[in-house]
Amino acid sequence: MENIFQDIKESQARFFATGITQEIRFRKNSLKLLKGAMLLHEKEILDALYTDLGKGPDEAYMSEFGLTLEAIDWQLRHLDHNAAPHYHYTPLHEFPAISKTINIPYGNVLIMAPWNYPFLLAMVPLVEAIAAGNTAFVKTGHAAAATSQAIDNLVRSIFDPEYVCVIQGGHEQISALLELKFDYIFFTGGKKLGQIVYDAASKQMTPVTLELGGKSPAVVDESANLALAARRIVFGKFLNAGQTCVAPDYVVVHESVKEPFLAALINEIRKQYPNSEDIGKIINETRYEHLISLVNPAKVIYGGSASRPTLQIEPTVMDNVDWSDPIMQEEIFGPILPILTYSDFKPLMRKLAALPTPLAFYLFTRNRLHKQYVERIQPFGGGCINDTVIHLTSDNLPFGGMGASGMGHYHGKYGFHTFSHDKAIVEKGNLDLPMRYADRKPWMAKVLRMVLK
């Protein structure tokens, strides 16, 4: 049976073969068109994010819309440099020659976005794929139906499907897409679906980026500024109702400062979320029910109330949590914050390192040695010292996981290179040195040894 997306896939292959998408002017014009269309569709997009996730206009702009505009502007500013040949030192044994790398697009790419940041995590990879000169399929997060439709409307208003095509839908559409041979797959989502994508890509020998997740810890040591740590942890944890892949999943606080930290934490929740309805909503009833099942009422020291009709869960803090508790066995992905304690820094770091590698890691400290240990030794995708989540907002830093939290990275130049192949070129002139050939003179072998030692 013919694949439902085969015709569009073939039209994209034909369009890419024309070479138009590789022209710098075309790429810039496409990015400018996308930015202009975003500004025209801004209200529709922000309204859709409210419908799907209960995000108010300020949060939706800050965490999704505005960051996408920044990504477009970054690629426009740096496109000439990134797309130009880059020259490299030529080793003596290749003299005379010119060594360079040229970035070429992969071709037809598949971008698979999740539901938790349904606009940002669909559009930023698309921006970088366009900047690199590709055509693209964009599979939106089907649980965020309103935002998926807004993205479809946006893209259809400026691009033909032979260039960029948005695909909505669920498992049937995902299965059909994964049957096709793409030149690159960029996936953001959960580990289970990521494994399916990875398996399908391996059968086609298709390179992939997998942006997954995991249980990202926040460690508060005895030297930390507790009020500031509490403020920034509350921000990162409860943004988007905790449905953020780099949210602090849990806090491990030094036992000597646990009580003042908890007091500061609860005070911050009251300040940032004075009304429980101010927090966003859980994406659907299935996720809502699962999150409720993780809450142990006996360990709740703040919050715990929930509203099934609105799918909202009050910011909730659980104390005296043990590593073996159910809430510590999976990524929470909701507004529930477990608190654990530790007494010795290095044993804690070794314990955390033995767990599946997290996407993010946050350390609150004034201790230089603790900071250096985390930066140089502790395994994780990326993170912050004395803050949370903001590392993913910079187009000058790579964003991605390692191990269980994914492979590959993007943002800024890293995203451009993710969607490009770095082609190595050595350009030789007509001067032909005889040393490398089999009929070399005996003395030439000595020269070769001197050059290659």
What residues act catalytically?
Answer: 211, 245
Q: How far is Cα of residue 368 from the mean position of the Cα atoms in its chain?
A: 29
Name which of 412, 410, 420, 398 is nearest 78 in CA terms: 412
Rounded-to-10 torsion of CA 172, 7, 199, 192? -30
Is the separation of the CB atoms in 410 and 418 below 8 Å? yes
Residues whose CB falls within 8 Å of the CB of residue 264, separated by 6 or more in sequence, listed in order: 226, 227, 229, 230, 231
**How far lies 93's CA from each of 148, 314, 431, in Å?**
55, 67, 13
Q: How far apart are CA 253 and CA 338, in angstroms?
A: 11
Q: How far apart are CA 11 and CA 161, in angstroms?
A: 8
For 346-374, b where at least 16 C-beta lie within 10 A, e where not — what string? eebbeebeeeebbbbbbbbbeeeebeebb
Q: Give every strand in the sheet of 300-302, ordered side by side.
A: 300-302, 316-318, 336-342, 250-254, 217-220, 360-364, 382-385
For the record, the structure tokens of 361 come out as 């890691």
Torsion sign across C-alpha atoms 145, 151, 152, 157 = positive
Rounded-to-10 torsion of CA 385, 388, 393, 399? 70
Q: How far is Cα of residue 15 from the mean position of the Cα atoms in its chain?
A: 28
Is the separation of the CB atoms in 160 and 133 below 8 Å? no
Q: How far apart are CA 431 and CA 391, in angstroms?
A: 50
Q: How far apart are CA 408 and CA 414, in angstroms?
A: 9
